[in-house]
A = this chain, B = another copy of it.
Amino acid sequence: VDRSRLEAFSDGVFAVAITLLALNLAVAGPGHGTLGHQLTTRWPAFAAYAVSFLTIGIIWVNHHALFKSFAAVDRVLVFLNLTVLFFVVLIPFASSTFAAYLRSGGADAHLAAALFELVFLGMGLSFFAVFWWPVRQGLLHVPLSRREASAAVVRFGIGTAGYAVAIGVAFVSAGAALAISALVALYYVFERTPAPSEARGAAPGEQT
């Protein structure tokens, strides 16, 4: 399997999914209250858009950094990658469901929030598998040291734990669950994949 074609297909899915997110923002049009009222009561749609956009954006950034470190791509990895895409494709659905129910409150809002976080959790676990399989199979350009591997596991663990906690929190407060996924996304803006480029001594901060 060519790494480049796997990346191109994944990038296509990321690009379509991230763009479809905005379809959820559509307002009902004239005759459904003032536009100002519609836009303000639809804040959950905008909040869900922002969090989902940032999350897919970060998945793309990390996907990119990760695949650059793979010297070879085997068939198992192709299917693990499909699992990541399976959940990425679900994000616009989970995001629109969440936005639709967040304001209605009650059991439905909690369930919608839990579903949203569940999709993120599924994506996070799949992504971990995409990282772990090449490490185990020795498909990296530069093998990770034990310390680097541990650091990477901690790094993935924090996001995964964040989403798992958010599922529980969703049943208490849907808004708090959304806030947790926003924090997880922000965490990954600053925390970087332990790329082998660092092992190779590239100046950090200049080229990722």
When each residue 113-156 of chain A gets 1 if its CB lies under 8 Å from chain B and 0 otherwise, what string results?
Answer: 00100000000000000000000000000000000000000000
- CB-CB under 8 A from A92, the residues of chain B are 22-23
Is A183 an interface residue when CB atoms closer than 8 A count as contact?
Answer: no
**Assuming A16-B15, A18-B85, A34-B108, is B1 touching A90 (CB within 8 A)?**
no
**In the complex, residue of chain B having the shortest beta-carbon distance to the beta carbon of A100:** B29
Is A173 an interface residue when CB atoms closer than 8 A count as contact?
Answer: no
**In the complex, residue of chain B having the shortest beta-carbon distance to the beta carbon of A111:** B35
Is A161 an interface residue when CB atoms closer than 8 A count as contact?
Answer: no
**Assuming A30-B104, A35-B111, A57-B85, is B5 touching A13 (CB within 8 A)?**
no
CB distance from A137 to the nearest CB of B (A): 8
Interface residues on A, range: 35 or more
- CB-CB under 8 A from A1, the residues of chain B are 61, 64-65, 207-208
CB distance from A192 to the nearest CB of B (A): 7
Contact of A78 among B11, B20, B27, B208 (CB under 8 A): B208
- CB-CB under 8 A from A208, the residues of chain B are 1, 74-75, 78
- CB-CB under 8 A from A11, the residues of chain B are 5, 8-9, 12, 15
- CB-CB under 8 A from A101, the residues of chain B are 29-30, 35
**In the complex, residue of chain B having the shortest beta-carbon distance to the beta carbon of A88:** B19
**Assuming A8-B8, A11-B12, is B22 touching A100 (CB within 8 A)?**
no
| Shortest beta-carbon contacts, A-B, top 7 | A12-B15, A16-B19, A35-B108, A57-B82, A25-B93, A75-B208, A30-B104
Interface residues of A (CB under 8 A from B): 1-2, 5-9, 11-23, 25-27, 29-30, 34-36, 39, 53-54, 57, 60-61, 64-65, 68, 72-75, 78-79, 82, 85-86, 89-90, 92-93, 96-97, 100-101, 104, 107-108, 111-112, 115, 189, 192, 205-208
